[in-house]
Amino acid sequence: MLTFLQSEMERQSEKDEFDTNTYMTSLMTTCFGRLLLWSPRLPSTQDVVSLNFSEIPIGSVCIADVQFKGRGRSQNVWESPKGALLFSFTIQMEDGHVVPLVQYVVCLAVTEAIKDLSL
């Protein structure tokens, strides 16, 4: 299921924006990433996920083409231009000690997937 955030859906036709159709048709999971929240521009994908955590299913992914108030673990803050990979997702883990490692596993998996696609 794809949910567009904001009223900027018509802008999706631009070449340099995230291709939601390719994402949804290429997805090979049963749960993770099946609910996609996409917007061309957001203050922070993490804010969207955090503020809606109890309303969206585990495995939901929020993607923005541009973040202008991005934040991450330990309150790190940044601005992110077009072309960067900007996303947050919901996950439920029993052992909070492994949470810091998740970001590294996800980054490695994304890197390997991009290499496999020869992008």
pLDDT of 73 reads 66
101 within a domain of the structure (yes/no): no
**Which tens digit of pLDDT belongs to each residue from 52-83?**
999 999 999 999 998 888 766 677 777 787 88
Which residues of the chain register pLDDT less than 50? 7-10, 12-13
Residue numbers of the domain that contains 61: 2-94
48 within a domain of the structure (yes/no): yes
In Å, how far from its chain's centre is CA 104? 15
Task: Tell me the CATH number at 33.
Answer: 3.30.930.10
Q: Output the pTM of the full model.
A: 0.75
Maximum distance among all alpha carbons in the chain? 42
| 92 contact partners, CB below 8 Å, separation of at least 6 | 58
Q: How many domains does the chain have?
A: 1
